[in-house]
Structure 1
Amino acid sequence: MVMDPVCGMEVSETSKFKTMYKGKVYYFCGPGCKREFEKDPEGYLKSGPKGMPDM
């Protein structure tokens, strides 16, 4: 299990919601978290999970 960098939820590495950033794959619980991360990846990587995004 890995942590969704947006909401902090534990997700499986088999999640279909994933993206690559700077050579590393990040996994998400759903499409909303994936979209939010892709808008500001550095923000989430520097300050950590911020909870579920408003969808």
Structure 2
Amino acid sequence: MLKWALIFAVVALIAAALGFGGIAGAAAGIAKFLFFIFVVGFIVFAVLGFMAGRKITGR
């Protein structure tokens, strides 16, 4: 998902440089949305992994 966020960010930068404001804004919005979904997923899985690790070791 982070890969797609970076792709959309690059598309937004290129579109903005070429003067396509609407396309650049839409691509930037999609990139921002995908990035925040990635961050939330990362945090959730990090917490779940931390909790699973604590159960296995018994600490």
TM-score higher than 0.5 here? Answer: no
- Going by fraction, where is strand more abundant, 1 or 2? 1
**Which band: TM-score by shorter chain?**
under 0.3
- Higher RCO structure (Cα 8 Å, ≥6 apart): 1
**Structure number with larger C-alpha Rg:** 2
| TM-score, normalised with respect to structure 2 | 0.22
TM-score, length of structure 1 as denominator length: 0.23
Name the one with the larger helix percent.
Answer: 2
